[in-house]
Chain A
Amino acid sequence: DIVMTQSPDSLAVSLGERATIKCRSSQSLTTSNNKNLLGWYQQKPGQPPKLLISWASTRESGVPDRFSGSGSGTDFTLTISSLQAEDVAVYYCQQDYTTPITFGPGTKVDIK
Chain B
Amino acid sequence: GAGVSQTPSNKVTEKGKYVELRCDPISGHTALYWYRQSLGQGPEFLIYFQGTGAADDSGLPNDRFFAVRPEGSVSTLKIQRTERGDSAVYLCASSFRGGGSGANVLTFGAGSRLTVL
Co-assembled chains A and B? no
Q: Chain A: residues with CB nearer than 8 A to chain B?
A: none
Q: Chain B: residues with CB nearer than 8 A to chain A?
A: none
